Amino acid sequence: MKLCKCVEDYKDEFNLMDLGLLKLCACSAGVIAGLFVPKKCKTSVLAAASILFSLTLFPLMFKIVKTIANSK
């Protein structure tokens, strides 16, 4: 199956930096999903979590898209 091959290729290139980015990305998504802060603070917490989520998600997605493109 082609997807399994791409996942194997990506796994081989996965390093400690990617793991850190993945953890920060997941943490930011959790903050966004479970935003239980007072109304006056929600905007700033949401903005910070969204920025962190974006800054960690895009490098991870770029790497997996590059891996998929190279496997074709």
Residue 3, pLDDT score: 67
State the burial class of residue 69 (Cβ atoms within 10 Å of its Cβ: 0-12, 13-18, 19+): exposed
Instruction: Indicate the number of domains in the chain.
Output: 1
Element (H or E) spanning 38, and its range? none
Overall pTM > 0.75: no
CA-CA-CA-CA dihedral for 56, 57, 60, 66, to nearest 10: -130
With beta carbons less than 8 A apart as the criterion, state whether 11 and 71 touch: no
Tens of pLDDT along 29-70? 888 777 777 778 778 888 888 888 888 888 888 888 887 788
| CA-CA-CA-CA dihedral for 60, 68, 14, 12, to nearest 10 | 180
Domain hosting 57: range is: 2-70
